[in-house]
Structure 1
Amino acid sequence: MPRRGEYTRNFPLPGPRAAEPVRIGIRTVTGQTADGRQQSPSLDPADFTCSPLAGELADEWVEKAAAATLSATAAALYRQAITLFCRHVDAHVPHAVKASLGEPEPDLAHALTDWTRLLPAAYGPGSRVPAALAGKLRILITRRAEHPDRPVAAGLRHWASGHVGLRGGQTQELDEFTRADKKELVKAAWSDHLAITARIRRGWEVAATGKDPAEDGWDRPVNLLWAIANDAWTCEEIAEHLPGWHEMPPSLRALMPPGTLPHFGKRMVLRHLVRQLFPHNLDLHSYRILLMAATGRSSEEVSALTEDDIEFGPRSVVIDFTKGRAHARTRQAFSTLGEQADGLLHPRRPKLDAAALAQALLELATPLARRASIAPVPLFLRAAVDPYTLRIRRFSGDTVASQLSDWLDFHGVSVEGPVDIRRLRKSGKVEKALAFRGRVSDIADDHSQQTFRGHYAHGTTLRVIAGNVIATAQRRWLDHALNGPVVLSEEAERSLAEPGAADALGLSQEEIDQLRDGQLDMGVSSCKDQVDAAATVIMTLLAENASLREHAAGRLAVIPFPAERARLL
C-alpha cells in the first residue's frame, strides 16, 4: 500500500455523463392505492397544442414518481396540474406550439402567474386544491432547473424560487360524535363482530364436510365451499361449471339476494360463498370502529397495522402505530381484560380489548394472506369477487357501495351530523381531554402541537381546556378568599408558645398575639387598623431585629418588602 506522498497521479476524472433518455408517446406512472391496488395514470403530450411543454413536464413527472415512489393519489394530482396548465397555455398563450421550459418566448412565467391567479375561481372558498396544484407544478419545474443538462428560462427559475402566491386553504373541522351516537356505533360494531365470527366459523365447518364438486356435483353449496376453502378450483372455474339461470337448482337460488337479475346469478352465488369463508369490505368497518374506540387512534393508523406491528404479552399487547403523513412510528401498550371477562356469558357492554380485537383480525386475515402470499399479514384484509375472480385486497373505506354510510344503513344506525370516521377519533380526543382535565401535554402526546392546534383544539376539546383553566384560576382565588392570609404556620405557632421564645425574638406577648390573629398581615386591606398599617409594624420589627429576620426567613410566610417602602404603606 503506498504511503502518503507516494501517489503518482490524482483521482481519475469523472466519466462522460449518460445521454438524456428520449421519451416519446404516452407517459405512464404506476402508483399504489390505500388498499394495495395498482393504478396507472397516463398523459399523452400529443393531446395539447403545446406538446413540447407537456412532454417536458411529463418527463419530470415520470422521473419524480420513480425516485419518490408516489402514491396513486399523488401521481394523479401531478397529472392534473400538468393537464390544467397545458390547457391554459393552449387557450391563452400566443404561439403555444413553441412553448418550452427552456425558451424565453413565449413567456411561460407570465402564463404561470396568470394560471395561479385563475385557479381559485374553479374551486370553492377555502379549498386546498389550488395551492396543491400550483405546488406540484412548481416542484416539477424546480426539479428540471436543478438538472445541469436541462435548460430552464430565467423567468421560470425566478418563479420557482419564489412563493406560489396562493394560500394553503383551510378545511372545515369536524366535531366529535355525541356520546349516544358513539355508543350506538360501538354497540352495532360489536354485534356485527359476533355475527361475522359465527358466520365464518360456521362456513369453515360446513366446508370441511364437503367433497370435490367434480366428483360429488356442482349443484351442492357444501361442495363449492370445499373447493373455495381448499383452493382446489378457482372462482372462474366454478362459474364455468355452475348451471345456467334456468337450470339452477333451488339450493343455489337460495344463495342469491332477492331481485337478482339473471346475468348476475352466478356472480351472486360466488359472492355469497366467498363471504361464508372470508370477511368482505363492509365487515371490516365494524373492526375499524372497535379498534379505534379501543386504542383512540386514527383510521389510517389502525387500518395500516400488520402482524409485525403487534406484540402480545400475558396481560397486555404492544402496538406500533405508523403515521403515514408525519412519517412517524409510536409504540403504545394496552392492558387486556383477561380470562375473567371471557367467563361472562352476557356482558353488559362491548369489550373494547385491543389484544382480543387484534387477535380476531389476524385469525380472519391469515387464510387470505397465505392464499395471496402476502407477508407480513395485514390485519385489515378482505376478499371480493370481481367479476368472477377472487381478489384479495386491503381494506378501503371509500369503496363504492361499501362506505361507512352504507354500513350505517345496513345496520340501521343513524348519527347526527356528517358521516365521517374521523369524528370517532375526535370523540377519543374529547374523552382524553376530560380524563386529563385539559392538560395539553397529555392530550396532544401522539402528534405535533401544530396538528393539535389546527385539527383538535376546537369545539368540545377547546371548551374543556378553557373550562379547566378558568376553574383552576377560580379555585385558587377562592382558596385565598376562604382561607385568608397565612402568616404563621402551625410549627411556627408552637415555637412561639415555647418558654423564652418571645425574648429570643425580641417580641412582646402583645406582638405575638397580633401575629397569631393576623393583624400583622402584609396586606393593608386586611389590617384591622389601616392607619397603623400592619406592614409598617412588622417591617419595622424585621428591620430592627436580626434574630427575628432569621426566624422569619425560615418560618414566616412574609414578603420581604424594604422597611422604607413598608413605612410608606
Structure 2
Amino acid sequence: MIDPDLNPRKMRFQLSTSTVSADFAPLDFRHPVLAGELADALLHMHRSLGLAGGTAYNYRHAIVSLLRGLPTSYPRIVSLGMLDGDLVEALHEWELSLAATYPPESTLPSKRGRQIRRLIQIHEATGRPVGDSVLAWAQGRVLHGGGEETPLDEFSNAERLAIRDECRRRIRTLEDRLAIGQRGLCHGSAPDSDGWVRAHDAIWAVRHEGRYPGVSIDAVAVRACDQGVLNELSEEFAFDRATTYGGGARVMRRLMSYLYPSDTDLVAFRTLLQLETGAAPEEWSRVTLSDIETATDAIHVRLHKARARRSRTVRCALTHDGRTGWRAGDLLRRLIAVTKHARDEMTANLAPDAESLFLTVNRTSTRHLAARAESFSRRPFSSILTSISPSISHPHDARRLRKTVKSVRAAVLRSADVAAGDDHSVEVYQRHYAQTTTVHVLAGAAVNAAQQQVFTRIQRGPIFVNAHAHSVDGEADDTLAEAAAAEVTASSTDREMNVAHCASPYESPFSPAGRLCEHRPSMCFACPNAIVFADHLPRIIGYREVLRSYENEMSPAQFASVYGQQVANIEQVLDMFSQEQRDQASRDIQDVAERVHVPLAQRGAHL
C-alpha cells in the first residue's frame, strides 16, 4: 500500500486585482487523505484546463466547505478510493446541509455540489482509484437547484446621475486635500525634540517616517491632534477624540488622506470609468500602467476579462479646451496623479504591484504604513451609495453600472448590435443585458410604435365615393377616374372577385412590395388602396353575410378573434351609406351573395 502524500500543496491564484497565495495543508483537516486527493485534482484541473484564477480559488473554497462539513465520526483515512458507501453517505449529508447554510436565493449549494463532483471526476480521469459508489454519486445530478436569484437590474437614470455626481464630489474633495498635503510636504520637516508644532511637519512625517517596519508615529500623531496642532489642516481632527480608544487609528487615517487616496476614493474613480466606458468592474480593477498607451487625442487602455479570457482596447477621450474634464482619459490622468506618492513608495521598494493603476497606502496591524495595490475586496462602493440621498436601490453591486451603460446605449442608439459593443456578442447582450427595465420599456415602446403605424394605416381605410361609378366625371382625379372606368367596364367575373376596387394591387401595406396582394377581400376595408363606389354596396353586404355564416362554425371567442375586425371594418364602411341604400341592396342579397368569391384559404377558419 502506497502511503498518501500529506505534504502541503502550493497554490497561487491570479485574481482580478492581485495574486493570492493559498497553500493547502491536508493535515490541517480531520480527513487529510481526502483533502490531499481533492487538492491534487484541483491543481491538475487548474494546470491542464487553464482555469481562471478566481474560478480555481472558488473550487478551493468548495473543498474547504466539504472537509469542514464532514461528520467527525468518519475515519481520518477516508478516501475517494474506498469501496464501501460510507463516503457517499457523508457526501450526501454534506450536500444536504448546504441548504440550511445559505439563504434560499443563493446559488452556492448548487455550485458547491457541482464543483466537488467535477473534482472527483478529474481524480478518476487521472487514473487514481475512485470507488464505484463515489463515482456514481459524482456522475449523478446535483441535489440543489440553482437558487432563486433575481437578475441584477440597472440603476435608474436619476440614480446614475446621483452616483456620478457623488463620485465627482469625492474626487474634487480628494484633490483639494492632496493639494494641501503637497504644500505640507514642501514646507514640512522632521519634528524637533519638542514634538510636532506645525501641521506641515505632521504630513512630512507621515510621508517619510511612517512607512518603515517597526516604526510607529501613532503616539506623536495623537499628541499633536490632542494639542490642536492638526486643526490647522481641518477642524474635523478635533472630533477624532485622539486620546480615546481607536483615536490613534482615526487620526492616522485622516492624516494619510492628505497624501494618499483611500479605497473609497479609488472606487469613485473606478465607478466613473465604468460609467464612461461601460466596462466591467474587474476589467478596470486589473489595469496596469503597461496597459495604458497615450495618443494625441485620446488614451488607449487594454482591458482584460479573466473569466471570458478576452482582451480588448478601449478609447478614453480627453478634454482639449484646457479644463480639467471628466471624460475617461481625464479620469485616468487624474487617477495617476493622485496615486503618485503611493507609486513612488512602491517603486522605491521594488514592489511587484507598482505598475497597478489603483494604488493606496494602508496602516498595517503593526502600525506602520505600507503601499499596496487596491484589492477592492471591501465594500467601499456600497459606502458611497449609502451616503447618497435619496437612497439608491439595492443591491449595491458595481456590476449594475455596466448594465446601466448598456441600457443607456440601447436607449440612445436604438440598436442591440451597437449596445452590445465589442466586448461580447449580441447573443450575450440579449441574454444578460437586454433584461433590464429600460430595454424592456424600449421594447414595449417599439412594439407600440409599430402597432400604431398599423393602426394608423387601418384607420385611413378605403376611399369612399357615395356615387355610382358611371356618374364620376372623367376629368376628376386620375386615380379616381381610372377606378370608376374599371368598375364600369368590369365583367361579371371581375365583380365576383372584387368587393372594392384596388388602386394598387402590387403595393399592398399587408404584403411585401412588388407582390400581388394576397389578402383580398379580407383586408380590403382596412386598406388605403381600396376605393368603394355605390356599385359595391350589394357585394359588401353579401360579403358580410358570408362572414356571418362562419359564425355558426366557431365559438364566439374564436369568431371574434378571426373575423371580428373584418366585420367591424365592413360595418364602418356600410355606415357611410344611407339607410335607403342599404335596404335596397339587402333586397337583392340572395342574388349577390352567391356571386361574391372568397378565396379557399379564407373560408371557414382563415388564419
TM-score norm. by structure 2 comes to 0.67
1:440 aligned onto 2:416: yes
* Displacement of 1:518: 5.4
The residue correspondences of 1:314-353 to structure 2 (distance < 5 A) are 314-339=296-321, 352-353=326-327
The equivalent residue for 1:531 is 495
The equivalent residue for 1:459 is 437
Change beyond 3 A, Cα 1:222–1:32? farther
Cα distance in 1 for partners of 2:218, 2:192 equals: 9
The residue correspondences of 1:245-394 to structure 2 (distance < 5 A) are 250-252=227-229, 254=231, 255=237, 257-262=239-244, 264-339=246-321, 352-373=326-347, 374=352, 377-387=355-365, 388-394=367-373
**Are the aligned partners of 1:177 and 1:416 in contact in 2 as well (CA < 8 Å)?**
yes
The equivalent residue for 1:11 is none
Change beyond 3 A, Cα 1:221–1:98? same
Q: Letter of the 1:171 partner, please give it.
A: E
**Are the aligned partners of 1:384 and 1:392 in contact in 2 as well (CA < 8 Å)?**
yes
**Are the aligned partners of 2:196 and 2:224 in contact in 1 as well (CA < 8 Å)?**
no
Cα distance in 2 for partners of 1:296, 1:382 equals: 24
Q: Letter of the 1:123 partner, please give it.
A: Y
Cα distance in 1 for partners of 2:3, 2:256 equals: 47
The equivalent residue for 1:429 is 406
**Are the aligned partners of 2:360 and 2:371 in contact in 1 as well (CA < 8 Å)?**
yes
* Displacement of 1:458: 3.7
2:175 to 197, 207, 218: 197
Aligned residues with identical type, % of pairs: 23
1:468 to 434, 442, 446: 446
The equivalent residue for 2:38 is 57
The residue correspondences of 1:20-35 to structure 2 (distance < 5 A) are 23-24=5-6, 29-31=11-13, 34-35=16-17
* Displacement of 1:128: 1.0
The equivalent residue for 1:559 is 516
The equivalent residue for 2:156 is 178
Q: Letter of the 2:272 partner, please give it.
A: L
Cα distance in 2 for partners of 1:253, 1:224 equals: 8
1:403 aligned onto 2:360: no
* Displacement of 1:203: 0.8
**Are the aligned partners of 1:43 and 1:79 in contact in 2 as well (CA < 8 Å)?**
no
Cα distance in 2 for partners of 1:72, 1:397 equals: 14
Cα distance in 2 for partners of 1:518, 1:235 equals: 98
Change beyond 3 A, Cα 1:286–1:51? closer
Structure 1 gaps, min length 5? 1-19, 343-350, 486-508, 522-528, 543-548, 550-555
Change beyond 3 A, Cα 1:393–1:212? same
**Are the aligned partners of 2:85 and 2:133 in contact in 1 as well (CA < 8 Å)?**
no
The residue correspondences of 1:201-216 to structure 2 (distance < 5 A) are 201-213=179-191
Cα distance in 1 for partners of 2:224, 2:479 equals: 109
**Are the aligned partners of 1:280 and 1:382 in contact in 2 as well (CA < 8 Å)?**
yes
Q: Letter of the 1:355 partner, please give it.
A: G
Q: Deviations over 1:185-235 (max 9, x none)?
A: 222221221111121122112201222346895554423433444x46635
**Are the aligned partners of 1:291 and 1:352 in contact in 2 as well (CA < 8 Å)?**
no
Q: Deviations over 1:325-360 (max 9, x none)?
A: 222123333443421655xxxxxxxx5411111111
SS in 2 for 1:285: helix
Cα distance in 2 for partners of 1:516, 1:298 equals: 66
* Displacement of 1:129: 0.4
**Are the aligned partners of 1:514 and 1:520 in contact in 2 as well (CA < 8 Å)?**
no
Change beyond 3 A, Cα 1:536–1:404? closer
Cα distance in 1 for partners of 2:437, 2:399 equals: 14
Change beyond 3 A, Cα 1:417–1:233? closer
**Are the aligned partners of 1:89 and 1:96 in contact in 2 as well (CA < 8 Å)?**
no
Q: Letter of the 2:161 partner, please give it.
A: K
Cα distance in 2 for partners of 1:412, 1:477 equals: 44
Q: Letter of the 1:297 partner, please give it.
A: A
* Displacement of 1:69: 7.5
The residue correspondences of 1:30-179 to structure 2 (distance < 5 A) are 30-31=12-13, 34-36=16-18, 38=20, 40=22, 42=24, 44-45=26-27, 47-48=29-30, 50-61=31-42, 71=53, 74-75=56-57, 77-84=59-66, 87-88=69-70, 90=72, 96-97=75-76, 99-106=78-85, 108-109=87-88, 111-113=90-92, 115-117=94-96, 119-148=98-127, 150-161=128-139, 163-164=141-142, 166-179=144-157
* Displacement of 1:137: 1.1
Change beyond 3 A, Cα 1:247–1:412? same
Cα distance in 2 for partners of 1:538, 1:219 equals: 98
Cα distance in 1 for partners of 2:354, 2:485 equals: 75
**Are the aligned partners of 2:13 and 2:22 in contact in 1 as well (CA < 8 Å)?**
yes
**Are the aligned partners of 1:210 and 1:225 in contact in 2 as well (CA < 8 Å)?**
yes
Cα distance in 2 for partners of 1:253, 1:104 equals: 71
**Are the aligned partners of 2:107 and 2:146 in contact in 1 as well (CA < 8 Å)?**
yes
Q: Letter of the 1:55 partner, please give it.
A: G
Q: Letter of the 2:37 partner, please give it.
A: E
Change beyond 3 A, Cα 1:145–1:194? same
SS in 2 for 1:283: helix
* Displacement of 1:166: 4.2
Q: Letter of the 1:142 partner, please give it.
A: Q
Q: Which moved more, 1:185-194 or 1:471-480?
A: 471-480
Q: Letter of the 1:329 partner, please give it.
A: S
Change beyond 3 A, Cα 1:259–1:412? farther
Structure 2 gaps, min length 5? 232-236, 464-473, 487-492, 507-512, 519-595, 600-607
TM-score norm. by structure 1 comes to 0.71
Change beyond 3 A, Cα 1:86–1:381? closer
Q: Letter of the 1:279 partner, please give it.
A: P
